[in-house]
Amino acid sequence: MKKVIRKINRFIFTEKRDHLVLFRLVSSFLIIAFVVNLFFFNSQTSLGATYTFVQTNWSGGITANNAVHPTNQTGWTQFSASTTGMTMANAGADLQLLL
pLDDT band at 2 (very low <50, low <70, confident <90, very high): confident
Q: Residue 30's pLDDT is what?
A: 92
CA distance 22 to 24: 5
Q: Residue 14's pLDDT is what?
A: 62
Q: Where are the alpha helices (DSSP H) in 1-99?
A: 2-40
Single out the residue of 53, 98, 99 nearest to residue 80, CA to CA. Answer: 53
Report the DSSP pairing between strands 94-97 and 61-62.
unpaired
pLDDT tens digits, 4-47 = 777 766 666 566 666 777 788 888 899 999 888 877 776 555 55
Say how many C-beta atoms besides its own lie within 10 A of residue 92's C-beta.
Answer: 14
pLDDT tens digits, 40-90 = 776 555 555 777 777 878 888 888 888 888 788 888 888 887 777 878 788
